[in-house]
Structure 1
Amino acid sequence: MIEPSKSEQTRQRILTTGRKLVLGVGFTGMGLKELLSVSGVPKGSFYHYFASKEAFGCAMLDDYVAEYLERLDLLVAAPLSGGERLKQYCQAWLSRDASTSIPENCLVVKLASEISDMSEDMRLIFDAGVIALDERIERILRDGVADGSIKPIADPAEAARLLYGQWLGAAILSKLSKSQQPLRDALNDTSARFFP
């Protein structure tokens, strides 16, 4: 494996630090001064990598979406029934481990309403990411129907979109209420609708 160049490492450090800050205070709440201070990067270096804060936001979202889809691709390819893969996906939403909990680490949960009115470029990155995610969930559902571990579904593409929307909404409500109950409710509903 080729080690990233120092320049690539610096760029990635800015993106990683920025994501952590954005998860805490939102995109508009994160100031460049704070980002540069925490990441240990001078202002000139930031502008070497990113033309603006919005360009940084687009790169951060591209990085996030690619990483998320890579993890989901591993789940889609796992040698399990479709139903088992769907259960693993749902359990990830319920994880209490702060480093893996989807509600705590999901930029869509944190930023969707904030950026949809602020940046068309960032909105389009999120939207494309959600479409790609829905396609992977659809694949899991189709596989599960084929192997009998998921109930027959009239329209797997629609079911995948609705399923993701339900879990995304539950994650937002979970953060709002500081309770896992909305996520447990989503799990109960998903189990009743999809598992034989």
Structure 2
Amino acid sequence: MNTRHENTKEHLLEIGRQILSCQGFSSVGLSTLLKEAGVPKGSFYHYFQSKEQFGEALLASYFSQYRSEMDRLFGVQGKDGQSLLLDYFDQWQESYSDCLVIKLGAEVADLSDAMRLTLKKGTDQVIRRLALAIEVAIADGSLPQQDSQLLATNLYQLWLGTGLLGKLNRDQSHMKQAMQLTRQLLART
């Protein structure tokens, strides 16, 4: 184990996330990752059998951290469910450029079935967490009765597409439009 890092595997995943979120999966070679992380090749292969397995672990780690952040945001006391949902999408506007689903989704879906399935599992879990937050808002009366799973799916699709358009256009106009529609979809009446 590399003594420079307390947890070499987590260090590799963190450095990988930083690099891949900027450059993509295919364009980053293993040597680039190892050089940036300051980790020898043998240490990499101690944790991962291949770059593809590293990609799977990276995506799984990303979604785990993302769901923890969702739980933290939706667990804030003293706010109704609708306000917490709007806070979540406000934060999305600020951090969408860090979204690995937007950055790597189309690229790895055709490249690796294992990575595609990791992405699918992660996005399904995010949508389920959104649906739960919508159900909380319905229960506390801040949203009207509706199909929480359908609304969560549509909101997630809206924001993924908006994130992609934001990257393509390099402006916030689509984010503002998505937030306007989100406010309508999450209206109390």
**What TM-score, normalized by structure 1, do the two folds share?**
0.90
Whole-Å Cα distance in 1 between the matches of residues 57 and 122 of structure 2? Answer: 13
2:106 to 85, 108, 113: 113
Do residues 136 (structure 1) and 134 (structure 2) align?
A: no
1:29-86 superposed Cα distances (whole Å, 9 cap, x missing partner): 1111110110001111111111110011111111111111111112232222111110
1:183 to 169, 175, 180: 175
Amino acid at match of 1:161: T
Amino acid at match of 2:183: S
Percent identity among equivalent residues? 37
User: Per the alignment, in what secondary structure is the counterpart of residue 144 of structure 2?
Assistant: coil
Whole-Å Cα distance in 2 between the matches of residues 30 and 128 of structure 1? Answer: 24
2:159 to 157, 164, 167: 167
Whole-Å Cα distance in 1 between the matches of residues 144 and 162 of structure 2? Answer: 23
Matching residue of 2:89: 90
Matching residue of 1:98: none
Matching residue of 2:120: 127
Amino acid at match of 2:126: L
For the Cα contact (< 8 Å) 1:76–1:136, is it kept in 2? no
Measured on the aligned residues, the alpha-carbon RMSD in Å equals 1.5
1:172-193 superposed Cα distances (whole Å, 9 cap, x missing partner): 1001100111111010001112
Whole-Å Cα distance in 1 between the matches of residues 145 and 175 of structure 2? Answer: 24
Q: What is the CA-CA distance between 1:157 and the residue it aligns to?
A: 0.6
User: Per the alignment, in what secondary structure is the counterpart of residue 7 of structure 2?
Assistant: helix
For the Cα contact (< 8 Å) 2:74–2:85, is it kept in 1? no
Matching residue of 1:195: 187
Unaligned runs of 5+ in 1: 96-100
1:88-120 superposed Cα distances (whole Å, 9 cap, x missing partner): 11101121xxxxx1x211100101100111111
User: Per the alignment, in what secondary structure is the counterpart of residue 51 of structure 1?
Assistant: coil
**What TM-score, normalized by structure 2, do the two folds share?**
0.93
User: Per the alignment, in what secondary structure is the counterpart of residue 117 of structure 1?
Assistant: helix
Matching residue of 2:30: 32
Deviates more, 1:5-14 or 1:124-133: 5-14
Do residues 81 (structure 1) and 71 (structure 2) align?
A: no
Do residues 104 (structure 1) and 97 (structure 2) align?
A: yes
Whole-Å Cα distance in 2 between the matches of residues 135 and 77 of structure 1? Answer: 15
Whole-Å Cα distance in 2 between the matches of residues 174 and 112 of structure 1? Answer: 15
Aligned length: 185
Whole-Å Cα distance in 1 between the matches of residues 132 and 54 of structure 2? Answer: 32
Point out 4+ residue stretches in structure 1 off by more than 3 angstroms: 5-8
Whole-Å Cα distance in 2 between the matches of residues 129 and 123 of structure 1? Answer: 10
Amino acid at match of 1:91: D
